[in-house]
Amino acid sequence: MNSAIDLRGSMNAMSAAFGPVIMAAPHAIRDALPKTTLPRARLARALLAAEHLSGVEPLEKLEGHWQNGQESYKLIRDKLRADLAVVAADRPT
C-alpha cells in the first residue's frame, strides 16, 4: 500500500521537524503545536489502521479528527502569520 508508506513518511518528517520549530518559534506557536499536530496524528493513525472500513461510526470518528485538525490548523496558521508579519491574500490589510 503506497499511500500508507507515504503517510508514515509524512508522520516521521513531521516529528523530525519539531526540534528546530521548538527551538526557534515564539512561545505562542510552541504552545499551539501539540494542539495542532495531535488531531492530524490521530487522523493519520486512524487511516493507517483502516478504521474507516468498518462502518459508519469509524467514519464519524475520522470526520471528527479531520474537523479538529482543520480548526487547530487555522489557529496556528494565524499565529504564524502574525509572527512573520504576513497578511493573507484573502484578508483585508
What's the Cα-to-Cα distance from 33 to each of 55, 56, 90, rounded to whole Å?
31, 30, 24
User: pLDDT tens digits for 40-85?
Assistant: 888 888 777 764 466 656 777 788 888 988 998 898 888 888 888 8
CA atoms within 13 A on the CB side of 66: 8
CA 13/CA 16 separation, integer angstroms:
5
Query: What is the per-residue pLDDT for 75?
Result: 87
pTM above 0.85, yes or no: no
- Cα Rg of the chain (Å, integer): 16
Q: Residue 35 pLDDT more than 70?
A: yes
Residue 92 — very low, low, confident or very high, per pLDDT cuts 50/70/90? Answer: low
The three cell numbers of residue 90 are 484573502
The three cell numbers of residue 61 are 470518528
